[in-house]
């Protein structure tokens, strides 16, 4: 089934996510929204650090800006698809229009979030992305169990 079988069975009830932000304004905004949750947030500064982290530590949700210092969100979406349990990627951008939103979805991202980040929108999007990821893992485990039965 992949590198992380039984991920769901050992996933804590806490939402765990990876956030990339080299921009202090974006990080402060996201931190101020997430600080009031019991979610476990792992912070990295760029795409390279994000991929290093994700190779050894699967998380359901990955939040990154449209602009990164060392890569593009598109490259990260593509790179995460190679993982056994790819996270749902939320991209945030100042230019959050329909065109970019469609681009994010077409590339395999989960959702586009407009900046400045809105608390309710961020919390809803992360919750839904996590739920979707867990449902996909559950379906993979059921399918794998059926194949071996």
Report yes or no on 55 lying in a domain.
Answer: yes
* Bond preceding residue 3 cis, omega within 30 of 0: no
Is residue 93 within a helix (H) or strand (E), and if so which, with residue range? strand 88-93
User: What pLDDT is stored for residue 104 in this prediction?
Assistant: 96
Block means of pLDDT (10 residues each) for the chain, length 149 residues?
A: 45 80 84 93 94 94 92 93 94 90 96 94 97 92 82
User: What pLDDT is stored for residue 1 in this prediction?
Assistant: 41
Terminal CA-CA length for the chain: 14
Report yes or no on 4 lying in a domain.
Answer: no
Report yes or no on 52 lying in a domain.
Answer: yes
User: What pLDDT is stored for residue 117 in this prediction?
Assistant: 93
Report yes or no on 40 lying in a domain.
Answer: yes
User: What pLDDT is stored for residue 13 in this prediction?
Assistant: 64
Of 85, 41, 89, 35, the C-alpha closest to 64 is 89
Report yes or no on 3 lying in a domain.
Answer: no
Contact call for residues 62 and 90 (beta carbons, < 8 A): yes
**How many domains does the chain fold into?**
1
User: What pLDDT is stored for residue 3 in this prediction?
Assistant: 45
Contact call for residues 59 and 84 (beta carbons, < 8 A): no
Is residue 7 within a helix (H) or strand (E), and if so which, with residue range? helix 7-10
Please give the torsion angle defined by the CA atoms of residues 79, 133, 114 and 67, in that order, rounded to the nearest 10 degrees: -10
Question: The domain containing residue 120 runs over which residues?
Answer: 14-148
Q: What is the CATH number of the domain that holds 125?
A: 3.40.50.2300
Report yes or no on 23 lying in a domain.
Answer: yes
User: What pLDDT is stored for residue 105 in this prediction?
Assistant: 96
């Amino acid at each position: 089934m992949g590198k992380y079988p039984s991920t769901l069975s050992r996933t804590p009830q806490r939402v765990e996510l990876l956030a990339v932000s080299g921009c202090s304004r974006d990080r402060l905004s996201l931190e101020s929204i997430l600080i009031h949750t019991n979610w476990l947030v792992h912070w990295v500064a760029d795409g390279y650090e994000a991929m290093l982290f994700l190779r050894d530590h699967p998380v359901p949700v990955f939040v990154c800006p449209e602009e990164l210092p060392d890569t593009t969100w598109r490259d990260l979406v593509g790179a995460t698809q190679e993982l056994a349990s790819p996270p749902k990627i939320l991209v945030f951008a100042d230019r959050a229009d329909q065109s970019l939103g469609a681009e994010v979805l077409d590339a395999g991202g989960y959702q586009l979030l407009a900046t400045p980040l809105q608390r309710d929108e961020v919390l809803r999007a992360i919750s839904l992305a996590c739920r979707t990821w867990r449902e996909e893992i559950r379906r993979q485990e059921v399918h794998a169990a059926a194949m071996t039965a």
